[in-house]
């Protein structure tokens, strides 16, 4: 089973229609609004803005399992993300990523691997729906290894100016 076959609701209600991401590269991230890593939203949005035209979708999946750091309602989460970080990438309903209530999306992503460590763990999913790489919560969206893994899966850019310039510390034009 790929992530495209999973039923999950959009944060704003209604089905998230995972099948629409078939053929795209998807970065799935469990997110939270009251976490020390919450500023990663800015970098995730920059990734979405930079690579959307080449087929990347960033998918945020709110989760309240880690120290209750995502307690808000769907409307509160959406408002927080838009007002504080200008988030335009899709967000799903709030789900559990670990334990007996683990959502089927995360059952597919984690497979036989270890449990999710904390908020902002990242799964890079290829156009075929298979997990290609997993990055820990501390991996910043500007991390050169994460960006290299994304770029490897995407078609070449027709516009070199839209390709992020990487430095030792990460892409220079991401926040």
Q: Rounded CA gap, 69 and 74, in Å?
A: 14
Nearest alpha carbon to residue 105 among 135, 131, 72? 131
pTM for this entry: 0.90
Q: With a cut of 90, say whether residue 160 has pLDDT above it.
A: no
Please tell me the predicted confidence (pLDDT) of residue 159.
60
- Residues 93-131 have pLDDT tens digits of 999 999 999 999 999 999 999 999 999 999 999 999 999
Catalytic residues: 35
Burial of 80 (0-12, 13-18, 19+ CB in 10 A): middle
- Alpha carbon separation from 155 to 21, 88, 105 (Å, rounded): 15, 22, 26
- Residues 40-95 have pLDDT tens digits of 999 999 999 999 999 999 999 999 999 999 999 999 999 999 999 999 999 999 99
End-to-end CA distance of the chain: 35
Please tell me the predicted confidence (pLDDT) of residue 172.
46
- Structural domains for the chain: 3-154 (3.40.30.10)
Please tell me the predicted confidence (pLDDT) of residue 42.
98
């Amino acid at each position: 089973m790929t992530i495209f076959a999973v039923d999950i609701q959009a944060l704003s209600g209604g089905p998230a229609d995972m099948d629409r991401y078939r053929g795209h590269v998807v970065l799935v991230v469990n997110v939270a609004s009251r976490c020390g890593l919450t500023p990663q939203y800015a970098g995730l949005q920059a990734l979405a803005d930079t690579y959307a035209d080449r087929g990347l979708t960033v998918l945020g999946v709110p989760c309240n399992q880690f120290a209750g750091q995502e307690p808000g309602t769907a409307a509160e989460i959406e408002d927080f993300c838009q007002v504080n970080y200008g988030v335009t990438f899709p967000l799903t309903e709030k789900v559990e990523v670990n334990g007996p209530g683990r959502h089927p999306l995360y059952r597919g992503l984690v497979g036989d691997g270890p449990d999710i460590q904390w908020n902002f763990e990242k799964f890079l999913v290829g156009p075929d729906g298979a997990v290609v790489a997993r990055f820990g919560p501390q991996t910043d969206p500007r991390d050169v290894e994460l960006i290299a893994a994304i770029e490897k899966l995407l078609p070449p850019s027709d516009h070199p100016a839209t390709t992020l310039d990487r430095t030792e510390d990460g892409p220079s034009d991401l926040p």
